[in-house]
Amino acid sequence: MIRIFQGFITLILLIPPFAVGDRIVTAQEQIVHDAEYYILEAQNGERWSAENEDLDVKLAALRKEHGRPPNIIHIMWDDTAFGDVGIPAIQQVRGLRTPNLNEMAREGILFTRMYTEVGCTPSRAACITGRYAVRSGMYNIGMLRESHGMRGEEVTLAEVLSEEGYATAFHGKWHLGDIEESYPHKQGFDEAFFTGYNQILSLNTKLAEGANASIGLHEDMLPKDPYKLDDTFITKGWVQIAEGTKGGPTKQWGDNSHENYMKIDPEAQRRTLEFIERNAKAGKPFYVANWPNMTSFVPNPKKFSTARSILQDGLQGNIDPFVGKVIAKLKKLGIAENTLLVCMADNGPMSHNPPPGLGMAETIYRGGKGDFLEGGVRVPAQAWWPGTIEQGQLVGDIIHETDLYTTFARVAGALEHVPRDRVIDGVDQTSLLVNGDTHSRRDSVFIYAGPRLGATVKGNYKRHWISSDPVGESSGIPAAFYFLPADPREKTPMLVNLIHLKSPFNRMKLRHDLWKKKYPDAKEVHGIPWTGIANARPEIKALAKPLLDPKKLPFDPLEYIEHLDELPFDPQADPDFGE
């Protein structure tokens, strides 16, 4: 048995991946997946191949029936613990109700093992590129003045689907950079209404300064500081929300006030519903990503949920009613049976900022946003496609958000437009959607903490690569192995009972690393933020200019921008401790 297995490895490492797929004839065979995919394909390829033939027939019949490929809607909100959506008993004890999302789950699939990246920016990058965020360099959660963004060379889902004739739109929290190259309508979307950052924008207002929620952005509200020498340390100048079209101009929408911030989600929702209706009536297949702000970080006097955590309140008061409107619209337009709707969170709860602040609480899993523990990356997720996805399914398979990229491309008939010159981590999960529980083509996930691998999940097992138990990754005797069903909170690393997993996990990681030598990780790009804004105010235009006269300085004051990726991350962070 061991010799046979070693044979597989030799095969995979010696033969180019294009040839590995000889055993299966699908459009997907030439996509370069991560090494682990081929280990599974070598064992399950025959079944997958047979399933694929059936799926092709099914998708072709659907296309014939509706006269076009299916529409795709992806709604992804922030920071929610697995279980907080779709499970009425948990919602009852958590003081939260999402009747529309729960009904959607009852009419489709509720996933219990949807994995994401650990934070907003990497999670969004992973969905839109089908690649772990580390591969596009988008592991940094971008804030003001980080002057960064996703490189144009990434091939987004919008580009893949556009090639197949889809109308594409992005509405909401993009959070993939504030440089022109990264704007969504420069990354393949026909139309975009987008924020470059996250909900922190709601703290940059005078209202938040007055409430002490943000400290020091609005000096005109403060007594003068007689000790202050530097006027450039804290700088203002950002675009709260912008809009643009492919090949057309980019404009700021409204001003940077709290009043305008509160209009962003309603406007994004209005645009999404209008986009759906417009394309349905034009008979054009469409893809729309509505990734809402969800909430303001300044508390809303009106509370929607008993829990009242700000994000949870936004989920109940803002997102859930919108999902209801989307589904009602699809039904009214008669396109529900030709539309795949996926709703999910982008990462775990913001449990590092606990109630009564902005945050949400840990529940079943330990950890939250930013952690490679299950609590950071296992999210509520559900899929709905009446007539194609069977009703009332609970799906326990592992699925990763990158899989949406490949799966959406497959159902759209657009696999041929997925690039072949890079690793695509997303695997085709069409069979999971159509055939249900136990039909995943993935049994593992690599979980990155910034640029470093934090943990690897394989089935019910998990290994922490960053750990102090007993002496971390450099030890010859690692002990940070976990058995997830019995130990969901990753509290009990086992040395003796699980040491037989050491070598298998080592193999996985080393294959993953070797593949990176052939297909290296890229970097995010840096530049002047908010260029190309047609209606830019003077403070936005000023972002391109040094704040000080370069002649008065012994160095180039903008030189640092090209070196932002040299900033330290926190590679020693060890979530095994604390709580």
**Binds a second copy (CB under 8 A): choice among 152, 355, 419, 472:** 355
Among 80, 309, 316, 456, binds a second copy (CB under 8 A): 309
Under the criterion CB under 8 A, does residue 4 sit at the interface with a second copy? no
Stretch that binds a second copy, among 25-33, 116-124, 140-148, 361-369 (CB under 8 A): 361-369
Site size with a second copy, rule: CB under 8 A: 44
Chain residues 430-469 in contact with a second copy, contact rule CB under 8 A: 460
Q: Which stretch binds a second copy (CB under 8 A): 41-49, 124-132, 477-485, 526-534?
A: 477-485
The residue from 181, 277, 487, 565 that contacts a second copy (CB under 8 A) is: 487
Does 522 sit near a second copy (CB under 8 A)? no
- Rounded to 10 degrees, the C-alpha dihedral 75/79/85/88 comes to -160
Q: Binding to a second copy (CB under 8 A): which residues in 523-552?
A: none
Candidates 100, 168, 363, 440; binder of a second copy (CB under 8 A) is 363
The stretch near a second copy (CB under 8 A) out of 90-98, 275-283, 520-528, 564-572 is 90-98
Q: Which one of the spans 53-61, 65-73, 262-270, 484-492 is the region binding a second copy (CB under 8 A)? A: 484-492
Determine contact, residues 468/449, Cβ cutoff 8 Å. no
Write down the residue that tokens 């019995």 correspond to.
Answer: 486
Peptide bond into 451 cis (omega under 30): no
CA distance 469 to 577: 10
Q: How far is CA 355 from CA 309, 359, 478, in A?
A: 6, 6, 35
CA dist 336 and 314 (Å) reads: 26
Q: How far is the CB of 403 from a second copy (least distance, A)?
A: 19
- DSSP-derived pairing of the beta strands 109-115 and 393-395: parallel
Query: What is the nearest approach in angstroms of a second copy to the Cβ of residue 398?
Result: 11
Among 102, 112, 214, 444, binds a second copy (CB under 8 A): 112
Q: What are the two backbone dihedrals, phi and then psi, of residue 461, each rounded to the nearest 5 degrees?
A: -105, 155
Q: Which residues fall within 8 angstroms of residue 477, CB to CB, at 6 or more apart?
A: 470, 471, 495
Among 473, 483, 509, 561, binds a second copy (CB under 8 A): 483
CB of 110 to a second copy, least distance (A): 6
Q: Does residue 329 touch a second copy according to CB under 8 A?
A: no
DSSP letters for 76-137: EES---TTSSS-HHHHHHHT---HHHHHHHHTSEEEEEEE--SSHHHHHHHHHHSS-HHHHT
Smallest gap, in angstroms, from Cβ of residue 358 to a second copy?
Answer: 11
88 lies in the binding site for a second copy (CB under 8 A): yes
Regarding 67 and contact with a second copy (CB under 8 A), the answer is: no
- CA-CA distance, 432 to 109, in Å (whole number)? 10
Rule CB under 8 A: say whether 100 interacts with a second copy.
no
| Among residues 356, 476, 538, 568, the one that binds a second copy under rule CB under 8 A | 356
Q: Which of 32, 55, 109, 110 binds a second copy (CB under 8 A)?
A: 110
Contact between 368 and a second copy by CB under 8 A: the answer reads no
Longest dimension (CA), the chain: 76
Which residue shows structure tokens 């700088």? 235
Contacting residues for 393 by C-beta, under 8 A, at least 6 apart? 108, 109, 110, 436, 437
Site for a second copy contains 391 (CB under 8 A): no
**Is 499 near a second copy (CB under 8 A)?**
no
Q: Does residue 99 touch a second copy according to CB under 8 A?
A: no
Find the binder of a second copy among 47, 331, 420, 491 (CB under 8 A).
491
Q: Judged by CB under 8 A, which stretch of 211-219, 288-296, 358-366, 515-523 contacts a second copy?
A: 358-366
- For the chain, helix (H) and strand (E) counts, in that order, are 17, 17
Residue 488 makes contact with a second copy by CB under 8 A: yes
Q: What's the CA gap between 68 and 165, in Å, rounded? A: 10
C-alpha span between 153 and 131 (Å, rounded): 13
Cβ-proximal residues to 468 (8 Å cutoff; 6+ apart), any chain: 574, 576, 577
- The site string for a second copy over 286-305 (x = CB under 8 A, - otherwise) reads -------------------x
Angle at 318 between CA 314 and CA 322, to 5 degrees: 145
**Hey, how many other C-beta atoms are within 10 angstroms of the C-beta on 242?**
25
Segment interacting with a second copy (CB under 8 A) among 270-278, 318-326, 427-435, 485-493: 485-493
CB of 354 vs a second copy, minimal distance in Å: 5
Does 575 sit near a second copy (CB under 8 A)?
no
Task: In whole angstroms, give the CA distance from residue 454 to residue 573.
Answer: 9
> In this structure, are residues 350 and 79 in contact, taking their beta carbons and an 8 Å threshold?
yes
Instruction: Map residue 252 onto helix, strand or coil.
Output: strand
Give the three-state DSSP class for 352. coil
Q: Is 422 in the site for a second copy (CB under 8 A)?
A: no
Task: Please count the CA atoms within 13 angstroms of the CA of 571 that sit on its side-chain side.
Answer: 8
> Of 64-72, 286-294, 351-359, 536-544, which part binds a second copy (CB under 8 A)?
351-359
Q: Pick one of 38, 48, 77, 82: the residue that binds a second copy (CB under 8 A).
A: 82
Query: Using CB under 8 A as the criterion, which residues of the chain lie in contact with a second copy when the complex forms?
Result: 82-83, 86-90, 92-96, 110, 112-113, 305-309, 312, 354-356, 360-364, 394, 396, 460, 483-489, 491-492, 494, 497, 579
